[in-house]
Structure 1
């Protein structure tokens, strides 16, 4: 429900400016005709009330409603009915009437497409009918030069206001798209690349190395004793450890390196243009910083230290595909854990092939 309210109020907020601008500019069109014919004081009061008060009233009505979006659509239909009424009050003076009806029709198309535009057209016809019955003004379609000039601000400025609203909406949609793309690529807990996106990046790097012969190292990391953290202190503590390690990892690698979470306490790191020897240096730094990070931890966790084991596989042209490269790093990780954990092992491509 809060999301519905937020979106509906945002919709009403976007339409507030075009409505306010349109009503003020339409005042010039209508007055240019009304001053040439006998008009009652009541109609003048209605015109000024509509031009000056309807926009804030419509916005207030929408944002306080239980369904702001539907209420704002109702406001747009009232705009159309009002345009039809004022067209009839002007005796269908050609340019002012067409301007009012066209601009409100433009609003309907922008807000709800052709289906909503058809509803707006019916509202305009209803407004025209009310105007004809109540006012009984004679038809006078001729537009004078002065009335043409009076309509120019509306014709020129109102599309600008709509364009500004459309531009801001496009910016919002672009930002939302970027946010969704980021969410689709990130692991929700750690902020690292998720498995799907990381696999895509790995595939791209594999193709680059295969094509150019460039160096690259693939690292598979497993956190030692992580299960003890979960078992003794709960999953919340385990999640916090994952976040802390991920932050440490992000601060340790280069901007060009690619770190991803495979799930649980498993991580993958892709180091472009890096030999396995240099990758070992990175792991040593990471192990040292992980130790330092935990040295200042809560006293009841001092007896449970998380370490890391790592398997490193440098790119080799003999690898048939990405799966083969991953397998090499996995085998190296298995050896590291089998030999006591807290270690890093480098894969032998020939051993994997065998």
Structure 2
């Protein structure tokens, strides 16, 4: 496009060589420099400023041709605003003016120059591909960035909700979901049960085999629990070796049956060392405490009731499920 605008002006060969270097050599040099820079982002901002300056330079050499000047400045300023917002756009305008002044100085010193305010059909046809291709390229890049941003946003959302070791819901997000279940239960009147479960003698496992082996066991137990639960049954890691399970629309006998199924599934597992498969696998068990939701109690009271049932299972010998039994006040 610039070449089609320069051609009627009969510019010397060195101007064409400069145009070739600017259009076909400089982009590769800029890419090479950015890849090897310690701060590629800032380096590319500098390159965009140099591009804006070169745009002003070619506007002067094109004799301020309206079509060519508007198109090249629009492209370069669009780059600036897309890469650095309004601030980089203003810097691009300033550097374009500096390039324009440099171009005028070169023209006055070495070239015969005149205004070139008309655009013949060759110039128009040469500008048409850029008018079509460049906005499509910008749109494609913007769409790709938007998809990357969406993907990163979803990843951050996932990381903020899940436990890094087991992949289950973390405590804060699990409690948020359970509070929503409580509100739903209060409206519908459907039963809701809470199950707290704890790995038996887990401190001894860590002390004997190391925390790495303990982490593996927690991961394997989490996988076992997930396999034996339905999708709507809300499982989370409550902290340390303790897990929490909320069973919506589930009566107390059904919740006890679910708890027993989980307990038996863990008790029959062989926990092999993923890094040392030659070592003998370990056996583990879990204790579980159940508490049904009662209208009028707080979430903290509900959690405390399930915790008391869990402690009862521990006191009675572990590897068992216990239901909370409220005691009368003296």
Q: Shared topology, TM-score over 0.5?
A: yes
Deviation, 1:310, is 0.6
Match of 1:308 in 2: 286
Q: Give unmatched runs, 5+ long, in structure 2.
A: none
Match of 1:271 in 2: 247
Does the 8 Å CA contact 1:313/1:346 hold for their aligned counterparts? Answer: yes
Match of 1:78 in 2: 50
1:132-190 Cα deviation digits (max 9, x unpaired): 11133222223334423332222232111111101100100100000001000011111
Look up the SS of the partner of 2:8 in the other structure: coil
The counterpart of 1:327, out of the listed 285, 304, 307, is 304
Deviation, 1:223, is 1.0
- Of 157-166 and 194-203, the range deviating more from structure 2: 157-166
Does the 8 Å CA contact 2:63/2:117 hold for their aligned counterparts? Answer: yes
Please say if 1:150 is aligned against 2:122.
Answer: no
Residues 209-228 of structure 1: matches in 2 within 5 Å?
209-228=185-204
Match of 2:207 in 1: 231
**In 2, Cα distance between the equivalents of 1:64 and 1:300?**
47
**Structure with greater proportional helix content:** 1
Please say if 1:339 is aligned against 2:316.
Answer: yes
Kindly tell me: are residues 296 and 57 of structure 1, through their superposed partners in 2, closer, same or farther at Cα, counting changes over 3 Å?
A: closer
Kindly tell me: are residues 122 and 34 of structure 1, through their superposed partners in 2, closer, same or farther at Cα, counting changes over 3 Å?
A: same
* Aligned Cα root-mean-square deviation (Å): 2.1
Please say if 1:47 is aligned against 2:19.
Answer: yes
Please say if 1:107 is aligned against 2:79.
Answer: yes
**In 2, Cα distance between the equivalents of 1:274 and 1:154?**
64
Residues 121-132 of structure 1: matches in 2 within 5 Å?
121-132=93-104
**In 1, Cα distance between the equivalents of 2:124 and 2:223?**
65
Does the 8 Å CA contact 2:272/2:280 hold for their aligned counterparts? Answer: no
Does the 8 Å CA contact 1:328/1:352 hold for their aligned counterparts? Answer: no
Match of 1:168 in 2: 144
Q: Give unmatched runs, 5+ long, in structure 1.
A: 1-28
**In 2, Cα distance between the equivalents of 1:250 and 1:135?**
75
Please say if 1:194 is aligned against 2:170.
Answer: yes
The counterpart of 1:95, out of the listed 58, 63, 67, is 67
The counterpart of 1:283, out of the listed 241, 259, 266, is 259
Match of 2:5 in 1: 33
- Of 86-95 and 38-47, the range deviating more from structure 2: 38-47
**In 2, Cα distance between the equivalents of 1:204 and 1:212?**
12
Matched pairs, number = 323
**In 2, Cα distance between the equivalents of 1:353 and 1:168?**
64
Please say if 1:134 is aligned against 2:112.
Answer: no
- Of 320-329 and 235-244, the range deviating more from structure 2: 320-329
- Of 216-225 and 328-337, the range deviating more from structure 2: 328-337
The counterpart of 1:185, out of the listed 161, 170, 184, is 161
Deviation, 1:96, is 0.8
Q: State TM-score, norm by structure 1.
A: 0.85
Deviation, 1:232, is 1.1
Please say if 1:159 is aligned against 2:169.
Answer: no
Match of 1:12 in 2: none
